[in-house]
C-alpha cells in the first residue's frame, strides 16, 4: 500500500483535479490512501473569513461568498450537470459555516479557527472523491476526523497515537482487506478531539497526516506531490537557479524542515523513520520524473548548500530592569510566557543581561506576549525581518547572500549558518 499527499497547488482548479485523476490512473492497480489539502488558497481565504467574524467586521458573508463561488466554479467545470449530488453536498457544508457565522463566538480564537478553517480540507476531499468516481476511479471518501484523534491544543494539536491506531484498524484496514478496493480519499491537516470538535495539526500539516497514515498502515512509501521536480536546495521564489537533492537521509530532511524548508512539514519525518518508510517528493507537473527520495541512507547526503528563508520575522530582546544577569529562573519564566501565548521560537541568543528570540510575527499573539513580558522586563523589538538559514555553507556563499543586508543576529555551527537580517 502507498500513501499519496496532494497539496493545495495540486488541486487548485478543475484542470489540477483532472491531473490528480490522471496520476492516480497510472497506479490504478495499487492500493493507495490519498490525502488532500484545501484547494488553492482556500485556507488563506478561510483565515480572512475567520478574522472578520472573530473581530465583528460586517463583511463576513461577502468573504464567504468568495470561497463558495471559487468551489462552485470548479464544480461546474468538473461535472456536466448541477443536479450531480456533489453540488448539494457542498451547499450543505457552506450552510454549516453560515450557521457558525450567525452565532456569537463562544471560545478562544484558536478554537474558532479550527472549527472554520478545517472545513477547507473537507470541501477539497469531497470534490476530488466525487470527480474520481465520475471518471471511473472508485474510492471511499473517509472523513479523517473519524481517524486522527488529538488533544485540544487547537491549531497545533498533538496526536493520540493509540486511539488513532485503533481507528485505522476499524475504518481503514478492513476497507483495504478487500483487494478490489484501491483508493481511499481523506483530508490532511485535520483531526478531532475526544469531544468531537475539529482540531488542526499546524499550518501545512497535511504532510504530517500522510506520515501518520503511512506509519499506521505500514505503507510501502509516502509520496508528496509538488509543483517542483523534487526537494530543492532553495525556494525557486527566491533563487533563479536551484539544485535538486536526489537522495538525502531522514536526519538531513529533519534539519531542513526544522529550519523552515517548506517542502516538508517538520513532524512528517519521525513516523516514517520509525518504520523505515521512504518519503518521495515528486512533481505532479512531470510525474514521470524521479523526484527526490528521503530514507535512512546517510551516505547519500548532499553537501550542496541549502538555503531557507523565513519572512515576516520579529526579533524580541528581553532584559532585566536592574541590569542583573539573565539566569535560569528568568529563562524559565520567559519560556513559560512564550508557551502560554503559543509563540514558537525560530532562533534564540543570550548575553549576560539580555535574551533575544526571533519568531514569526503573528501580530495578535506577539502583542499579548510583549505586553505580559513588559510587566517584569524591558522589551524591545525589530520587525519586518528575514531569517536566513544556510545548511552546508561556505564563506563565499555567505558573502554573496549577505551583501547589502543589515545583520541583527549571526549564529554558526559546523554545518549551519543562521542570520536575522533586514
96 is in an annotated binding site: no
Determine how β-strand 279-283 pairs with β-strand 221-226. Answer: parallel
6 is in an annotated binding site: yes
7 is in an annotated binding site: yes
310 is in an annotated binding site: no
Grid cell for residue 196: 468531537
422 is in an annotated binding site: no
Q: How far apart are CA 339 and CA 387, in angstroms?
A: 21
- Residue 6 — φ and ψ, nearest 5°? -115, 120
Residues in the chain: 422
- Residue 271 — φ and ψ, nearest 5°? -65, -25
- Give how far Cα 360 sits from Cα of 232, 312, 391, Å: 23, 6, 20
- Residue 101 — φ and ψ, nearest 5°? -70, -25
Secondary structure in 3-state letters for 331-359 = HHHHHHHHHHCCCCCCEEEECCCCEEEEE
Task: Tally the C-alpha atoms within 13 A of residue 98's C-alpha that lie toward its C-beta.
Answer: 11
Grid cell for residue 88: 448539494
- Give how far Cα 294 sits from Cα of 128, 220, 417, Å: 28, 13, 23
121 is in an annotated binding site: yes
Residues flagged as binding site for ATP: 5-8
Q: What residues form the annotated binding site?
A: 5-8, 43, 121
Residues annotated within a binding site for substrate: 43, 121
Amino acid at each position: 500500500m502507498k500513501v499519496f499527499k496532494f497539496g493545495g497547488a495540486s488541486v487548485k482548479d478543475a484542470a489540477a483535479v483532472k491531473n490528480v485523476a490522471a496520476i492516480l490512473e497510472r497506479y490504478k492497480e495499487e492500493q493507495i490512501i490519498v490525502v488532500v489539502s484545501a484547494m488553492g488558497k482556500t485556507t488563506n481565504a478561510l483565515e480572512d473569513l475567520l478574522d472578520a467574524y472573530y473581530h465583528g467586521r460586517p463583511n463576513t458573508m461577502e468573504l464567504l461568498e468568495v470561497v463558495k463561488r471559487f468551489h462552485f466554479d470548479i464544480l461546474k467545470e468538473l461535472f456536466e450537470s448541477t443536479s450531480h449530488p456533489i453540488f448539494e453536498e457542498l451547499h450543505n457544508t457552506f450552510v454549516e459555516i453560515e450557521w457558525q457565522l450567525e452565532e456569537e463566538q463562544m471560545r478562544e480564537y484558536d478554537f474558532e479557527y479550527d472549527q472554520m478553517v478545517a472545513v477547507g480540507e473537507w470541501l477539497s476531499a469531497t470534490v476530488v472523491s466525487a470527480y474520481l468516481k465520475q471518471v471511473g476511479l472508485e474510492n471511499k471518501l473517509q472523513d479523517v476526523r473519524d481517524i486522527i484523534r488529538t488533544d485540544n491544543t487547537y491549531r497545533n494539536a498533538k496526536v493520540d497515537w493509540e486511539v488513532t491506531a485503533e481507528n485505522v484498524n476499524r475504518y481503514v484496514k478492513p476497507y483495504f482487506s478487500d483487494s478490489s478496493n484501491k483508493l481511499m480519499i481523506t483530508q490532511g491537516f485535520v483531526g478531532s478531539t475526544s469531544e468531537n470538535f475539529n482540531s488542526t495539526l499546524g499550518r501545512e500539516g497535511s504532510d504530517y497526516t500522510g506520515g501518520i497514515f503511512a506509519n499506521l498502515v505500514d505503507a510501502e512509501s509516502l509520496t508528496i506531490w509538488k509543483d517542483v521536480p523534487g526537494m530543492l536546495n532553495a525556494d525557486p521564489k527566491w533563487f533563479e537557479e536551484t539544485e535538486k537533492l536526489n537522495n538525502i537521509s531522514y536526519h538531513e530532511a529533519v534539519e531542513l524542515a526544522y529550519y523552515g524548508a517548506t517542502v516538508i512539514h517538520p513532524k512528517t519525518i519521525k513516523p516514517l523513520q520509525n518504520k523505515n518508510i521512504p518519503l518521495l517528493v515528486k512533481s505532479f507537473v512531470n510525474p514521470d520524473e524521479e523526484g527526490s527520495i528521503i530514507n535512512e541512507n546517510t551516505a547519500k547526503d548532499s553537501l550542496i548548500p541549502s538555503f531557507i528563508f523565513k519572512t515576516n520575522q520579529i526579533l524580541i530582546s528581553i532584559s532585566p530592569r536592574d541590569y542583573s544577569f539573565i539566569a535560569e529562573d528568568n529563562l524559565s519564566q520567559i519560556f513559560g510566557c512564550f508557551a502560554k501565548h503559543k509563540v514558537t521560537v525560530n532562533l534564540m541568543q543570550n548575553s549576560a543581561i539580555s535574551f533575544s528570540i526571533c519568531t514569526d510575527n503573528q501580530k495578535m499573539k506577539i502583542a499579548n506576549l510583549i505586553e505580559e513580558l513588559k510587566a517584569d522586563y524591558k522589551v524591545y523589538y525589530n520587525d519586518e525581518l528575514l531569517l536566513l538559514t544556510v545548511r552546508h555553507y561556505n564563506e563565499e556563499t555567505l558573502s554573496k547572500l549577505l551583501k547589502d543586508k543589515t545583520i541583527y543576529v549571526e549564529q554558526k555551527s559546523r554545518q549551519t549558518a543562521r542570520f536575522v537580517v533586514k
